[in-house]
Amino acid sequence: MSKYTHFEALPLHATFGAELKGIDWPHINADVVAEIKAAVDEYGVCVLRNTGLDDAAHVEFSKQLGELDNIKRFIHPGRKMRYAHYELFDASNLDENNELLDLNSPRAHANRLHEQSGRMTLYVGAHLHHIEGLPEEESAALRDQLKAWVGRDENVLTVDWEQPGDLVIWDNRSTVHRALGGEFVGKYKRDLRRTTVHDEGKGAWGLNELAENPSFDMGHKTLARAQPAAPATVTV
């Protein structure tokens, strides 16, 4: 029996992921939201089908999960804005001056505590550049080994979009995600909306020893104060 009172959580994988069934959209209150957040903490990935949320309702629902990223828009002349809400993500690799972002970023622990669940997580994704303290070859070998482990078949959950209004929430603190092509590439439109909720935990900005060492070396420069590249997030 599901331990949740406002929906049923059906596991999708042996170790993580669940579909939440029976939510009364759009009539959800704070108790329902609290249970959804608890399910995300427990399962890492939650699938909610046929929510009926439009863009505005998507943003309002996401705000109930926590503080949202307010995505700045970097617009080239003639580029048309796709969305009316700043919280919806439209990616670029440009800074506020339309220049390429610096590839250097603050360091983060690869082994982290997921505070809400008490689990230790491997905080390793495709953007991991190197592991400090190891020679280049050893760092590359360990990096590739860790990334390969994350992508092993037994560690992967595949979620298919079934109809408009499907919603997937994944916890960037404990899972990684990737869009797959498959048989749909080049045949059908792929039109998605995304919001990002800031982590409120102690490791929210992925920094090592921030309190003890607010200034640290960045390779070619030293920041007078640690400037995180991006917070750990929950994405909706």
* The total number of structural domains that make up the chain: 1
At 188-236, the pLDDT tens digits run: 777 889 999 988 777 665 554 444 433 333 333 333 333 333 344 444 5
pLDDT the model gives residue 94: 65
At 121-175, the pLDDT tens digits run: 888 877 788 888 899 999 999 989 988 888 888 999 999 888 999 999 999 888 9
Domain with residue 56: its CATH number is 3.60.130.10
Instruction: Kindly tell me the sign of the dihedral angle through the C-alpha atoms of 216, 92, 167, 47.
Output: negative
pTM, two decimals, is: 0.72
Q: What is the largest CA-CA distance in the chain?
A: 56
At 38-84, the pLDDT tens digits run: 999 999 999 999 999 999 999 999 999 999 987 665 555 544 555 67
Identify residue 68 by its one-letter amino acid code. L
How far, rounded to the nearest angstrom, does the alpha carbon of residue 34 sit from its chain's CA centroid? 19
Domain extent at residue 113: 1-236
In terms of Cα–Cα distance, which of 126, 218, 215, 229 is closest to 179? Answer: 126
Output the six-digit token pair for 182.
């498959």
Identify residue 146 by its one-letter amino acid code. L
Go through 165-193 and write b for each residue having 16 or more CB atoms within 10 A of its CB, e for each that does not: bbbbbbbbbbbbeeeeeeeeeeeeeeeeb
